[in-house]
Structure 1
Amino acid sequence: MSQDKTIITVATTGAWPKKENNPNVPMAPAEIAEDIYACWKAGAAIAHMHMRDDEGNGAMDKDKFRETVELLRGNHPDCDIILNMTTSGAASFPNEECRYEHIVELRPEMASYDCGSMNWMHTGLFLNPPAFLEKLGKIMEDNHIKPEIEAFDPGMIANAQYYLKKGVLKAPLHFQFCMGCANGIPGTMKN
């Protein structure tokens, strides 16, 4: 009998949808925590976490991350889902620190590591310059956080190999292939 296992990752909120796009998208920390728990009960092993501001826009708000984690762990102590916090969950960032201060404080098991820059959804630039990627890699290593290498295009896979050779990333690498968004890898069976 095969011992192959499937790892299901759920992103209950995602990076951009709002209630007007789908009324079921959780926005508030209590909604997100309950949705993560329901997904864990249904078999999800990893929760990729994004937060929203009060208008439903993507936000890198460490207080909302903290509240969500406290609600999840406090209300559901049986839930051992792996928490994977975004480091890129807003279209614009007031400063570099907002992208990682929540992971330093909360020390989730995983966090996203977007391995390159790209045009984002025909609306702007998603910048992940080399100096930032090296700093983020060190922060993750120092805090024992496993990088989830998000690859939106094949060049990001090559970047991960470069950072592995340089010692910024450590093997084994965990990849998330982000296909189907504008300016990235098309979501086809071939890809």
Structure 2
Amino acid sequence: MQTEPAILTAAICGAETTREQTPYLPITAEELGEEAARCAAAGASVIHLHVRKNDGTPTQDRALFDKAIRAIRARCDVIVQTSTGGAVGMSAAERAQPLDCNPEMATLNAGSLNFGEDVFLNPFPMVREFAARMREKRIVPELECYDAGHIESCLWLAGQGVI
């Protein structure tokens, strides 16, 4: 039986998952590199990456992304896709830091949404800014659509030449 090629993306640690929820959560650059290598060996070609401080707190710190990306690239040949989502409440400047790490791909959130008890803000001016930075740096955006309306938003943004 012939199968069509597929791209498998592994989100190896999630945005706000904690070690209390799972003891297997990779936090350090070494752990992230090891997990990425396991996923690559299982067939993943893209690693979706979030990073954390040593205490497990989500962060968009460029230095931590750089360290994690180096650890991943040292262990496997995958496309690294950094998150620009960060965590609810982070500023646009914080969330954009991973774009300076030269990933091959990065997430581009298509719109705002309710996230638990909070609102995850992704207004169009920020989406346009992130898209422009990705284009300038030749980073391929992965469009994050959390509901059907976000698909329409992406089509509108494409019509505007933003993506």
Q: How far does the alpha carbon of each residue in 1:67-116 deviate from its partner, in whole angstroms, 9 at most, with x for none?
A: 11122223x2xx221100000021221x321211221x221111001100
User: 4+ residue stretches of structure 1 with deviation over 6 A?
Assistant: none
Q: State the alpha-carbon separation in 1 of the partners of residues 62 and 82 from structure 2.
A: 10
Between Structure 1 and Structure 2, which shows a larger proportion of helix residues?
Answer: 2
Q: Which amino acid aligns with 2:159?
A: K
Structure 2: which 5+ residue stretches go unaligned?
none
CA contact (8 A) 1:58 1:91 kept: no
Q: With structure 2 as the length reference, what TM-score do the two structures score?
A: 0.94
Q: CA RMSD in A?
A: 1.3
Structure 1: which 5+ residue stretches go unaligned?
170-191
Q: 1:119 aligns with which of 109, 114, 119?
A: 114
Q: State the alpha-carbon separation in 2 of the partners of residues 66 and 92 from structure 1.
A: 22
Pairing 1:129–2:127 present? no
What is the aligned partner in structure 2 of residue 39 from structure 1? 39
Q: With structure 1 as the length reference, what TM-score do the two structures score?
A: 0.81
What is the aligned partner in structure 1 of residue 135 from structure 2? 141
Q: State the alpha-carbon separation in 1 of the partners of residues 61 and 106 from structure 2.
A: 15
What is the aligned partner in structure 2 of residue 92 from structure 1? 89
Q: May I ask how many residue pairs the two structures share in their alignment? A: 163
Higher RCO structure (Cα 8 Å, ≥6 apart): 2
Q: Percent identity?
A: 31
Structure 2 counterparts to residues 69-88 of structure 1, below 5 A: 69-74=69-74, 76=75, 79-88=76-85
Kindly state the Cα deviation for residue 21 of structure 1 after the two structures are TM-superposed: 0.4
Q: Which amino acid aligns with 1:63?
A: A
Q: State the alpha-carbon separation in 2 of the partners of residues 18 and 27 from structure 1.
A: 9
Kindly state the Cα deviation for residue 44 of structure 1 after the two structures are TM-superposed: 0.4
Kindly state the Cα deviation for residue 38 of structure 1 after the two structures are TM-superposed: 1.2
Structure 2 counterparts to residues 1-191 of structure 1, below 5 A: 2=2, 4-74=4-74, 76=75, 79-93=76-90, 95-103=91-99, 105-121=100-116, 123-169=117-163
